[in-house]
A and B are shown apart, each in its own frame.
Chain A
Amino acid sequence: MTIDTVHFTPIAALFGGLLIGAAAALFMLINGRIAGVSGIMGGLLRPVAGNTLWRFAFVFGLLLAPVLYGAFATLPEIQLDSGYPMLIVAGLLVGIGTRYGAGCTSGHGICGISRLSPRSIVATLLFMVAGMATVFALRHLLGVTSA
């Protein structure tokens, strides 16, 4: 293992993480809800009266974030090399997997670990390891760097 010192940005990562965690903390304290993006989106697909508007608002906030950021500063680099077939397969897997496993990086990873949920700790370890294994297989076994 070698550390990629060129791209390593611990301070920005820590600060961004604090913002994410603060949003999740306040969301629970103010609205009484878990800030899990896949769960919030999934709930929109089976609408329950009085339980839909806040979901749209949260999603809208996420969509608005880069617009607001871009109005005051230059957005950090976004590099997305994947081709369309890969993006479609990946999107389908993320959509199905997060609903079947009842959470994603935010719901299980941030909120779940913060409440010391054994379920979420297991889920987070599993999707981290699966993600690392997938990148290993693609890049180091198949030699694919962007597809």
Chain B
Amino acid sequence: MNVFFSLVAGLVFGLGLIVSGMANPAKVLGFLDVAGAWDPSLAFVMIGGIAAASIGFFFARKRTQSWLGLPLQMPAARDIDRRLVLGSLLFGIGWGLAGICPGPALVLVGAGVVKGGVFALAMLLGMVLFELAEPGGRQPPAASAAANPPAK
């Protein structure tokens, strides 16, 4: 059941990326180009996204489990540390180079855009490199208990 709703969520999320213009790299770069001919559209994507998600998180906070009876897994990390700062800066530089972030990268693959596929493969390679550099690290607290075998 949760697998089905995951599919639906991914689908609606992807449709939102297409409708909003986020899946068009040139439009994203138009937003990031504040010194040029600035296209503020992406700010409206954020406003709409945060408005809708805030309502959901407001009600989720009052619950101990999801509608399907699953645990509500809110991120526990609170530190604003070097990892967060450096990682976000690296991501931002990559985002600014091509105008593509992870969600739209997958939408571009689905749309059959070859260059999007190249970006997505490089992104996946980056994620693999990160995993290789940090074997066993970076597990969320809930999953890092000794009772849980690490990887299968």
Contacts and interface: CB of A to CB of B under 8 A. Distances in A.
Nearest to A136: B35
Contacts, number: 520
Interface in B1-41: 2-27, 29-30, 32-41
A25 B126 contact: no
A95 to B, nearest CB: 2
A18 B93 CA distance: 26
Given A9-B41, A25-B52, 10 more contacts: A14-B45, A58-B6, A61-B7, A62-B11, A65-B10, A69-B15, A79-B26, A90-B100, A95-B126, A97-B91
Interface string B83-99: 11111111111111111
A111 to B, nearest CB: 6
A2 B30 CA distance: 11
B: interface residue count bin: 35 or more
Contact of A41 (B80, B127, B150): B127
A61 B35 contact: no
Contacts of B110: 62-67
A104 B27 contact: no
Contact of A33 (B59, B73, B130): B73
Interface centre among B6, B79, B101 (most CB of A within 10 A): B6
- The interface residues of chain A, by DSSP majority, are classed as helix
Contacts of A69: 15, 18
B125 to A, nearest CB: 6
Those 9 A-B pairs whose CB atoms lie nearest each other, nearest first: A95-B126, A25-B56, A61-B10, A101-B87, A16-B20, A17-B48, A65-B14, A130-B92, A91-B122
A75 B115 CA distance: 17
B16 A19 contact: yes
B134 to A, nearest CB: 9
28 contacts: A3-B37, A16-B15, A16-B18, A20-B20, A22-B12, A23-B13, A24-B53, A29-B66, A30-B9, A34-B73, A38-B127, A55-B6, A58-B13, A62-B107, A75-B111, A79-B25, A87-B122, A91-B105, A93-B91, A94-B123, A100-B87, A104-B101, A106-B13, A109-B46, A111-B53, A127-B92, A131-B93, A135-B34
A8 B122 CA distance: 30
Interface of B: 2-27, 29-30, 32-57, 59-61, 63, 65-68, 70-75, 77-80, 83-103, 105-113, 115-116, 118-131, 138, 143, 148, 150-152
Interface of A: 1-4, 6-10, 12-35, 37-38, 41-42, 45-49, 53-55, 57-70, 75-82, 84, 86-106, 108-115, 117-119, 122-124, 126-136, 138-140
- The interface residues of chain B, by DSSP majority, are classed as helix
Nearest to A34: B75
